[in-house]
Structure 1
Amino acid sequence: MSSVVVATLVGFSSPAVAAVEAPHVGAKSAYVIDSAGTVHYGKRHTKRMPVASLVKVMTAYVVLSEAQLSDVIRVDAIDVRYAARGGAATAGLRAGERFTVRDLLYALMLPSGADAANVLARHYGPGKTAFVAKMNRAARALGLSDTRYTNADGMPTPANGGHSTAADQVRLAQHAMRSSVFRTIVGKPVHRVAKTAVHRAHVWHNTNKLLDRADDVLGVKTGFTRAAGYCLLFAGERNGREVVGVLLGDQNERRFTTAERLLDYADDQIAFG
């Protein structure tokens, strides 16, 4: 091939690479980074905001740091009442049922069960106040300097509500995803628990629609409250790197479409470097 043809091909390909633009992001805050430390997108990513049920990522992180997956915990009436009273998403747990920690983590992360969060926090605090203190200590240890937790489920509190930032949430997810157990749980579309002598049969579906919309998606977690809007913490494999991102204060369906576009954008950036 002549040097003229090579030059022409190079000249042709360069504008195509340069034409790759970041997708429009309508969320109030967003952040995307890959495992090599390259930041692919940032929008108000250091602004403190409520993060709704993304809080449950830290709940799972703390539980995994000290629990045995085979531990069996009883659901109390207070756990069921707590979730019902607050109008939170639940895993449909009933008082008196007993579950392993492994199953409770699925109940926590897939249907975003506030009842499961209450069970775990109450048991591993012990007591919810002590558990929240553990969450905040873990946040400080991980360098999440703009994060403060007030409960284990992300539901709004009357005063002194918790907060985090997009940057902190991505950093937390990167740490959490180092656990093979956590990765398996958040990447599973559905988890079925067969009926036993100590609990009914349960089927928990993952609220993260991105798992079905894009290839090589690893998780991680959805969230919603009126104060936080629709949130999505997401991760995927792109060009040999793990890309983790978050959208805070978005619209329901748009968050999944935007996340898919951000993963594709990161893919292009990694490929053409």
Structure 2
Amino acid sequence: MGSVVVALVVGVSSPALAADEPTVGAKAAYVIDSAGTVHLGKRETKRVPVASLVKIMTAYVVLREGSLSDTVTITSTDVKYAAKNGAATAGLRKGERFTTRDLLYALMLPSGADAANALARHYGPGKTAFVAKMNRAARELGLADTRYTNADGMPTPANGGYSTAVDQARLAQAALRSTAFTTVVGTRTHKVGKTAVHRAHTWRNLNKLLTRTDGVVGVKTGYTNAAGYCLLFAGERNGLQVVGVLLGDGNERRFSTAEKLLDYAGEQIALG
């Protein structure tokens, strides 16, 4: 008789039980969907450096300031800046000319600091004025715990920039309203052929999440010693857009964790 009772009890175990929240090893994390439901928070309001996630704001400002068909000329300063600071580059060379559209791919896929420098210089005009526009845009978006000191996220000796996981998620939600931005960050490889004004280039997206699971929209990777490995990601799950942020994580772990968090949020959305 006892065994029958046990069987009956086991039989009522619920299909509606939610999956366990994934373990997150990142120092800070945040996941929210487009309906406003927060699916995970971990030190999400702590101010920390965010490395190349800064370039999301760079792209956001560029898309507000200019046209995709604008032409930007690469200078020796752009090239030397990236090389001197040991930053990721898009392999640009002095004298090459690109449309802003192509430079956004150079900025967001290989995370080119040379492209960031060129865009900031062009659309400031001048880098100081451009950074001021970045901070102004942050205030307009309500990013109260965000401060930018450059357009690429490389550490600065004094008065370093910072943000939070919450602010970065809000920024991504705003940026992803732009079709141009969404197209760029969701592209795995972008090629520009050789022309009279630039060499041929092939830029590959550093965001491995694009190839790991379905429905991924983007958006950006980042790394510095100070920030650790970072990932801002977005995907579609059960009819909603899910945006997540991992700051100070492990290199490969950020992608596997992001995949789990997207699926976890999707399960929560399905449960209502």
Matched, 1:212 2:211: yes
Residue 204 of structure 2 is aligned to residue 187 of structure 1: no
Alignment match, 1:60:
59
Q: What is the match of residue 4 of structure 2?
A: none
8 Å contact from structure 2 (residues 18, 267) kept in 1: no
CA-to-partner distance for each residue in 1:215-265, whole Å, 9 max, x for gaps?
A: 010000000000000000000000000000000000000000000000000
1:178 aligns to what?
177
Aligned residues: 265
Distance 2:13 2:71 in 1: 59
2:92 corresponding residue in structure 1: 93
Q: Secondary structure at the match of 2:219?
A: strand
- Could you tell me how far 1:20 is from its partner in structure 2? 1.2
**8 Å CA contact retained: 2:231, 2:245:** yes
Specify the SS of the correspondent of 2:16.
helix
Between the aligned partners of 2:200 and 2:66, the Cα distance in structure 1 is: 23
| Paired position in structure 2 for 1:3 | none
Q: CA deviation at 1:117?
A: 0.1
**Could you report, residue by residue, the CA deviation over 1:37-65 in whole angstroms, capped at 9, with x for unpaired residues?**
00000000000000000000000000000
Q: Which runs of 5+ in 2 are unaligned?
A: 1-7
Deviation at 1:80, TM superposition (A): 0.1
> Secondary structure at the residue paired with 1:162?
coil
Residue 256 of structure 1: aligned partner: 255
Q: Which residue of structure 2 lines up, in the alignment, with residue 116 of structure 1?
A: 115
Q: Which amino acid aligns with 1:222?
A: T
Alignment of 1:18-29 (within 5 A): 18-29=17-28
Structure-2 separation of matches of 1:19 and 1:64: 40
Structure 1 13/71 Cα, relative in aligned 2: closer, same or farther at 3 Å?
farther
How far residue 66 of structure 1 moved from its aligned partner, in angstroms, is 1.4
Partner of residue 12, structure 2: 12
Write the mapping of 1:65-144 to structure 2, written as runs, cut at 5 A.
65-144=64-143
In structure 2, the partner of 1:5 is: none
Q: Which amino acid aligns with 1:246?
A: V
Write the distance in 2 (CA, Å) between the matches of 1:20 and 1:66.
44
Q: Distance in 1 between matches of 2:18 and 2:169?
A: 27
The alpha carbon displacement at 1:13 in A equals 5.7
- TM-score, length-scaled by structure 1: 0.95
Alignment of 1:229-248 (within 5 A): 229-248=228-247
Q: Secondary structure at the match of 1:170?
A: helix
SS, match of residue 157 in structure 1: coil
SS at structure 1 position matched to 2:58 = helix
Identity %: 76
Deviation at 1:175, TM superposition (A): 0.1
Output the amino acid matched with 2:67: Q
Unaligned runs of 5+ in 1: 1-7
Deviation at 1:18, TM superposition (A): 2.5
Partner of residue 224, structure 1: 223
TM-score with structure 2 length normalisation?
0.95
C-alpha separation between the residues in 2 aligned to 1:205 and 1:52? 19
Q: Secondary structure at the match of 1:59?
A: helix
**Correspondence list, 1:30-69, <5 A:** 30-69=29-68
Q: How far 1:12 moved relative to its partner? A: 3.3
Per the alignment, in what secondary structure is the counterpart of residue 188 of structure 1? Answer: coil
Once the two structures are superposed, residues 130-164 of structure 1 have per-residue CA deviations (whole angstroms, 9 ceiling, x without a partner) of 00000000000000000000000000000110000
2:65 partner letter = E
CA RMSD of aligned residues (A): 1.4
Q: Secondary structure at the match of 2:67?
A: coil
Matched letter for residue 196 of structure 1: T
Alpha-carbon spacing, 1:19–1:60, altered in 2? closer, same or farther (3 Å): closer
Runs of 4+ in 1 over 2 A off after TM superposition: 11-14, 16-19
Tell me the equivalent position of 2:160: 161
